[in-house]
Structure 1
Amino acid sequence: MSWVAGVEGSGYGVHHLPYGVFRVGSGEPRIGVRVGDLVLDMAGAEEAGLVLAGGALRQPTLNAFLALGRPQWTASRQRITELLTDEAHRAAVEPLLVPLAEVRMELPFEVADYVDFYSSEHHASNVGSIFRPGQPPLLPNWKHLPIGYHGRAGTVVVSGTPVVRPHGQRPGPQGPVYGPSVRLDIEAEVGFVVGVSSPLGRRVAAADFADHVFGVVLVNDWSARDIQAWEYQPLGPFLGKSFATSVAAWITPLDALRHAFVPAPEQDPPVVDYLREEPHLGLDLRLTVYWNGEAVSEPPFAGMYWTPAQQLAHLTVNGASLRTGDLYASGTVSGPHRDQVGSFLELTWGGTEPVVVGGAKRTFLADGDTVTVTATAPGPDGSTIELGEVTGTVTPAN
């Protein structure tokens, strides 16, 4: 039980405690931990000697804290829980709680590298059927390795940042046409934030996932489908993806998700040695996609074919190093049913089957549309964890 009013029964109770970076007015960015509808000022807590992290919590981003590793992450979490549950600390801690309504959230970490995977069998099959009709929906390599691409770290933005409609080439009846994308889409995903780095040339095993990954963040990898369809052969996603990737303002620590790990789908054919993990676990995260405030889909993350640990192992199997602040995302989360897909490409089957949103038939995104992705996970003792939402509004092309 917490002495903080209003947190019992909240998806942001002391069983959660996600980290973010906030400002109050014109003040400098400060690290905070959310509890209910309040933000615990961690910079102030470390300055007061209430939490010890070697000054890492007095930085403008989470990177220095992320680099400290799991023993420090766990110790800090235990201490924060103590501060928020033991009435003896109330007088010292209460002045450090800031109403969420009074803060502006910032990108919580400096993104080092960004990699996006393609790990939902349902999504990959749907996209294959839409883009390659009459051919096998999955390419021959898909069940042998987690497919991914290297994105643009510099265009990862915090939730709430406007998304400018991108320009690019798209296919036309007489050849390529240049101009603003007319098939702007979303991809509801789950991202993983790397804390502990690894040296160039050393592979990271799937079993070492929790030693390197600090936590989980919701992602919307905005996609210009017309640009993507023209450019992706033979090298894959580029300008159709690199203009914006939105992430939630709050990072949920892995320690908060201990009750959300569940058996992952069986993999057939068997994977090669470096991708084997025991136990083979995914996460029971239940996403909801809102289009202009209307729920249009509920993608289930537990059914993802490739797990976060396997993605990390594949990411480094060639000796590529990890850096503090690396972000890798799951790829679009889609289930077996139309109301469980994580993109509007699938929801409208390539734009051929419009859906009704706000009383109007819709296919892809129009200027002024807002998309929000939320998620929940099971917590201890039947509680629920509510991950930080990721939202963005489309603005006209420049």
Structure 2
Amino acid sequence: MSASFHHRRDLACSPATAWRLLTDPEQMNRWSAAPIALSDNGIGDRPDGMGALRVVTLPGGRSRLREVVELAEFPRRFVYRVHDGGPLLLSHRGEQTIEATPSGCRLTWSVELRLAGGLSRPIARSIAKQVGASLDALAALAPGEPDSDDPGPPADRPATLTRSELATLRGAAFESLDAQIGIADRLAAAGDPKQWFARVYQYVTQEMIAVADRPEALRNPDWVLALIPVFHDYFTANLAAYEDGGPCTPAWQRAWSLCEREDPDHPERPVMRGLLAGVSAHIDDDLPHALADVAAARYPDRDLREFRPDYLRLAPVFTAASDHLLADLPRSHKPWWTPIAARVHPQVRDDLLGRKGFHVGRQRLKAFAAARAAVVQS
């Protein structure tokens, strides 16, 4: 169950000045009870630009919320989302709207959050109290602030594709999915243990298409659909090279080698090791290249950071793909913790597994940063 809270404050300053105080971490630290640190700028190389990353340290210092700026409509509307708030925080979205008034402006700050274990309401009450106290400090600070002449961050430019163009991208994505199904089926028919990673790769593609098909889920579904065939080409090229005895990347060489290993006493162990190695090869090796390739080919005039909110929204597809595979595995190949995992929220499970092996969320952030650096250097 989710919980929400809303705060309103009349501020004796212009909307542009209020925007600066509300969205720049350096200014926010003048009134916020929770310290805010900028991790990376968004578009326009600004802390308030779409795609900016910041970290909020809650009072007490033990909990941190990692946020991404999802929308910046200067000076009226600012939306952020917590993409990593620990295993118990399932969702957290904040929206700030600013309206001009005769004496300055009116701020409305709305937050909706959801936690595991029935904690949503008590945590929301606690955060609401802290935010309210911080806004009282902001209201006291605002009258002495000089008017801001900052033009604000650039607006994002989501692509305006025709239905035909979007259908073409979707068709290419499904062609990749069909090819991946064929690969997994071929390996399964041959009794090849590489089938398990091939199958989970198929499920990742399937889940990406499903997310892109939900109008409310993404701002740039065309970008997600365009990525799928590029991922597919890297995946199939390395598999073909490995099967032919030719050169493939070291990460894929290791992954496919681990996938082929067998342990008669513990058949689940090589399956899990192979899956982790395959996911690592996909995220660490292929993902930065694919992101940079699509940026250069289709979006050369757009800042890659504009797509970061959508990119972070794709994180659950890996969990969903893993769950599909766990359901497919024969009983002898299922890890011992499978029955327990079914009773634990996927985000909690992912966090626990990430501490023992490959942390998908953190590595995906590194992959995006590597892609961004490659785009900037090109």
TM-score computed with the length of structure 1 as normaliser: 0.29
Q: Which has the higher helix share?
A: 2
Larger Rg: 2
